[in-house]
Structure 1
Amino acid sequence: MCRFAMYLGPPIRLSQLVTEPSNSLIHQSYDAKERAEPLNGDGFGVAWYVPELREAPAVFKSISPAWNDANLLNLAPVTRSHCLLAHVRAASPGLAVSQGNCHPFVRGRFAFMHNGSVGGFGELRRRLRQGLSDAAYDAIAGSTDSEHVLAVVSDRWEAHAALADRPLERGQKALREAIATLEALRVEEKVEAPSYLNLAFTDGERALVSRFVSPGTEPAHSLYVARGALVVESGAGRVVPCPAEESAVFIASEPLGDREGWEAVPQNHVVAVDADRSVQTVAL
């Protein structure tokens, strides 16, 4: 059910997420440590922000396995950004392997990733779409449950336009209400399959990342947060403290290297990273 990683802080190379650490995202694409099925070979995607050139992030996606894409291996060492996202996909049964279904998904200045699944998505899809605004509905280009989740989040974001001067609070409300909407629909339709909603949502300056599973289901998919600089030595990777003015935050499905410095996010919580890279972990 996919693996992802996100970074906010002083500019680093994309390769510091994707290729260099001992448990880089490419490593997780063929040997994930915290999934029953270690393979995530149904495509990948990366996104990065260059605000001096444009507000929206750049995105590169492919249906190739991440471990076997020469373009990614060539791009990663020379791409630097203060906000990076990377995702390797394990397609849910019945959902096509296509570039349009690869994460991250972008809406304006926002980028979004999902690790998990919407329980009973095939049974819920029609009702879910009926509840969307025209703009959110029209923006769906692929067939994944993930992109439909983003549509719900987008609508809830627009519903809280009065909080425009408090974007992190606005985003938290949007994420909470989207999860509540999906859960209510699942219960109404008597779907027994649980939802796993590890959702990452960023505007390039702030980020919200949830670790959620439907009530009565254990455990949620893994999620970790680390604060500091990632130092890669001999292919390993360790997080070390850095000055406050250079504060950095990593959030990933699995630690990218040595586990020291990484904290497991509690189940049914959200990690909120503000523009100053301060971090709060709060219950959903």
Structure 2
Amino acid sequence: MCRLLGVVSRVPRPLTDTLSDLLDPFTALSHEHADGWGLAARTGREHTVLRGIDPAHASPAYRAALETVAGTALLHLRMASPGLRIEPGNTHPFTAGALSFAHNGFFSPGNALDDLIAPELLAGASGDTDSERFFLRVLTRLRGEDPDPVDALVHTAQDITARAEFASLNCVLLTESALYAYSQEDPESEVSQRRGPEFFRMYYRLGPDDAVVASSGMAPEGHREIGKARESRGARGTWETLPYGRVLEIRHSDLRASVHAVSTG
């Protein structure tokens, strides 16, 4: 049960510039989502990953990380699932080569995918979270039957829904060519029932200079909370809902965005 924020910028800039209207409200969420933070950033072939296990709002390292110059970036605030340790190996984003991945939600049992993950990938897991297993199954598919990230994300979601109970499978994947965001929730889960129908929603904003994807809970400067005001718009673009079971793809090269209509089966 975490929070996600991703951006693709036409020109690499410090995140404090690209996300100037969102960083304060996003960081404020770390008073609740206080079990660590992570950043993955790309500019060309340069790939930077930074993490901490302290609350983002109280972390000098997090504030310094926000000065990173990036063309594409992913930020994650962690709220650890019960029983999972707060340690670097369990802190998002998870990475493999040029890929970075972060998840907002959980599924149980956490080892439901283990026999579907390439043995060498499972043996190299950095921690014990269900979220990392999600990524390792996506990575297994990318290296095998599903080289297209859209297919890999959707088919991994199908694997999870067939084998486990889940609250949300919302996630963001960064590759060398694009940012991908996937949205799926079980509205009957205990968390969804308790937190309400907007807790696991994801939204995106397409502007002339950048494109942003975000989980709920933020109130950008000058606007009502994302998800509670469809009229939330401005010079940077209008917020739209990413429908459940869809994959948003934003290309690094030209900011071209596509919402892929797929079935989660």
The superposition leaves residues 81-114 of structure 1 with CA deviations (integer Å, 9 ceiling, x where unpaired) of 1011111100001110111111111111001010
Structure 1 pair 22/5, CA: closer, same or farther in 2 (3 Å)? closer
Gaps of 5+ in 2: 224-231
Secondary structure of 1:49's counterpart equals strand
CA 1:63 to 1:21, structure 2 compared with 1: closer, same or farther past 3 Å?
A: same
Q: Does 1:108 align with 2:87?
A: no
Match of 1:190 in 2: none
Match of 1:268 among 245, 253, 258: 245
SS at match of 2:137: helix
Q: TM-score, normalised by structure 2?
A: 0.81
2:109 to 121, 125, 128: 121
1:116-195 → structure 2 map (5 Å cutoff): 116-118=105-107, 120-122=108-110, 125=111, 127-160=112-145, 170-186=148-164, 193-195=165-167
**Unaligned residue ranges in structure 1 (runs of 5+):** 31-38, 164-169, 187-192, 229-241
Other-structure match for 1:248: 210
**Percent sequence identity over aligned pairs:** 25
Contact 2:18/2:210 (CA < 8 Å) preserved in 1?
no
Alignment of 1:210 with 2:182, yes or no, is yes
> Do the aligned residues in 1 keep the contact of 2:52 with 2:62 (CA within 8 Å)?
no
Say whether residues 1:63 and 2:53 are aligned partners: yes
Deviation at 1:216, TM superposition (A): 5.7
1:47 to 40, 63, 68: 40
Q: Which residue of 1 aligns with 2:226?
A: none
1:67–1:18 Cα change, 3 Å: farther
Q: Secondary structure at the match of 1:273?
A: strand
Displacement after TM superposition at 1:7 (Å)? 0.7
Secondary structure of residue in 2 paired with 1:150:
helix
Instruction: Report how far residue 25 of structure 1 moved.
Output: 2.2
Q: Distance in 1 between matches of 2:55 and 2:15?
A: 17
Whose strand fraction is larger, Structure 1's or Structure 2's? 2
Query: What SS does the aligned partner of 2:113 have?
Result: helix
Q: Distance in 2 between matches of 1:18 and 1:121?
A: 36
Q: How many positions carry a matched residue from both structures?
A: 238
Instruction: Find runs of 4+ consecutive structure 1 residues off by over 3 angstroms.
Output: 16-24, 214-220
Return the letter of the residue paired with 1:249.
A
